[in-house]
């Protein structure tokens, strides 16, 4: 599954204003909620509950907050960049700069799609060059083009 099959330009934030983990979750979920028609309060609640189980800051400057909602039918994806970096309780203890927020329906075939999309995101983010290009992107069009260059069916 290609990232750009799900990620919409309107759900990209090239300059997150957030200063901490909760701010990131709120800022990204606000945008995702607007674009995909999801209830923001419920989304934030699910994301915080997931973070309490263990941080989705996977290290290397990457955070992939995610959660499942029962009232949606399709995957939803948001993206944000923090130039300064945010303490996201990452495994490596370093600041997080790149965020993909993934929301999955609780039921249906989207479970497989969720795993394929997550695998593709992780595959791309292994490349330091790709991460540098994302961080350098200044607007959603640039972010879209950076992802499009590398986005392959997975």
Crossing angle for the helix pair 21-36 and 40-53, nearest 10 degrees? 140
Whether 66 is catalytic is yes
Residue pair 51/13 in contact by the 8 Å Cβ criterion = no
What the block records as the tokens of 51 is 């973070």
- For residues 11 and 102, give the distance between their C-alpha atoms in angstroms, rounded to a whole number: 11
Dihedral in degrees, nearest 10, Cα atoms 59, 44, 123, 107: 140
Strand, helix or coil for residue 68:
strand
Read off the DSSP letter of residue 62: E
Q: Which pair of structure tokens corresponds to residue 82?
A: 């923090």
Q: Which of 21, 31, 66, 131 is catalytic?
A: 66
Residue 153 tokens, joined: 């069916």
Catalytic residues: 66
């Amino acid at each position: 599954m290609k990232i750009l099959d799900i990620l919409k330009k309107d759900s990209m934030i090239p300059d997150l204003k957030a200063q901490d983990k909760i701010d990131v979750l709120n800022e990204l979920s606000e945008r995702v909620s607007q674009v995909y028609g999801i209830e923001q309060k419920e989304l934030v609640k699910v994301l915080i509950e997931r973070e309490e189980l263990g941080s989705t800051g996977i290290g290397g400057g990457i955070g992939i907050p995610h959660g499942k909602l029962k009232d949606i039918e399709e995957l939803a994806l948001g993206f944000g960049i923090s130039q300064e970096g945010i303490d996201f309780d990452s495994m490596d203890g370093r600041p997080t700069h790149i965020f993909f927020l993934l929301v999955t329906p609780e039921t249906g075939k989207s479970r497989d799609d969720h795993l394929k999309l997550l695998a593709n995101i992780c595959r791309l983010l292994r490349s330091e060059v790709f991460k540098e290009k994302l961080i350098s992107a200044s607007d959603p069009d640039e972010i879209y083009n950076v992802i499009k260059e590398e986005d392959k069916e997975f």
